[in-house]
Amino acid sequence: MQNLIIRLFVNAVALWVAAQLVGGIELAGEFWAVMLVAAVFGIVNALIRPVLLLLSLPLLVITLGLFTLVVNALMLMLTAALVGALSVAGFWPALWGSLLISVVSFLFSVILPEAGEMGSKR
């Protein structure tokens, strides 16, 4: 449960940073709206992203994994379509935003190693 809360916080911070730095990505609302967007983004990444990665496996192999950036941008656009507090003005802002979200999430996983773990240690 603690890892889930940490992961939600990391997603919220990463989305907020992307909204601040990438033109075309807007995050409206206060703390709870950002947390809702982060939760939906996490659910979309957990449920839909693996299916898209599997379906796009030939493209992933051909592009040496770079097509993952496109899949990540699509997940950000899908999240924006599902939650009104996030708006993304097209593919390119989504691509830059997803790249920035990945970098911020990676940095948090280095600082907070437990944020990157899926299961809890027993």
| Residues 6 or more apart whose Cβ sits within 8 Å of residue 68 | 53, 60
From residue 88, alpha-carbon distances to 2, 13, 34, 114 in Å are: 30, 17, 14, 30
Going by C-alpha positions, the residue among 56, 92, 90, 94 that lies closest to residue 72 is: 94
Sorted by where each begins, the domain ranges of the chain are 2-116
pTM: 0.85
Looking at residue 114, its pLDDT comes to: 63
* Percent with pLDDT over 90 in the chain: 77
